[in-house]
């Protein structure tokens, strides 16, 4: 299957700072990328869907001003958690797909801890 990378794999930051997470499709052009959040022992919750070159579509209850998503190219999407707080601590996973695939390919995830 296709390969999706995510960076960083783990980040610890102080409350009030911003954190940027990158998601890259390494061997295919991803027309659509998804960002999920996963709390311990819970399912993957879709935060937003981003199509290359257009604004992200956020799920209900997800603050677009707090979770900034940019999908500037067919191989890169970024999620910026602005003014992070301890309740934002979670496992963030991106996935990517294109019109060539039915499947979504997941990145390895980023463990965010906000102190």
Partner 1 sequence: GENVEQHPSTLSVQEGDSAVIKCTYSDSASNYFPWYKQELGKRPQLIIDIRSNVGEKKDQRIAVTLNKTAKHFSLHITETQPEDSAVYFCAAKPPEGSARQLTFGSGTQLTVLP
Q: Does 23 contact partner 1 by CB under 8 A?
A: no
User: What contacts 24+ positions apart, CB below 8 Å, involve 8-13?
Assistant: 8/110, 9/108, 9/109, 9/110, 9/111, 10/110, 10/111, 10/113, 11/110, 11/111, 11/112, 11/113, 12/113, 12/114, 12/115, 13/84, 13/112, 13/113, 13/114, 13/115
Q: Does 71 contact partner 1 by CB under 8 A?
A: no
Work out how close the CB of 50 gets to partner 1 at its nearest, in angstroms, rounded to a whole number: 10
Task: Give the count of residues interacting with partner 1 (CB under 8 A).
Answer: 23
Tell me which of 25, 58, 109, 114 binds partner 1, using CB under 8 A.
Answer: 109
For binding to partner 1 (CB under 8 A), which residues are involved?
Answer: 1, 32, 34, 41-44, 46, 49, 51, 57, 91, 93, 97, 99, 102-104, 106-109, 111
């Amino acid at each position: 299957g296709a390969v999706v990378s995510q960076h960083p794999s783990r980040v610890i930051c102080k409350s009030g700072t911003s954190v940027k997470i990158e998601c890259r499709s390494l061997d295919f052009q991803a027309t659509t990328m998804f960002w999920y959040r996963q709390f311990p022992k819970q399912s993957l919750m879709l935060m937003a869907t981003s199509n290359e070159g257009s604004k992200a579509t956020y799920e209900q209850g997800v603050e677009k001003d707090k979770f900034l998503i940019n999908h500037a190219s067919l191989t890169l999407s970024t999620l910026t958690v602005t003014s992070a707080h301890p309740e934002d601590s979670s496992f963030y996973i991106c996935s990517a797909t294109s019109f060539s695939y039915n499947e979504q390919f997941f990145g390895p995830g980023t463990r965010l801890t906000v102190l």
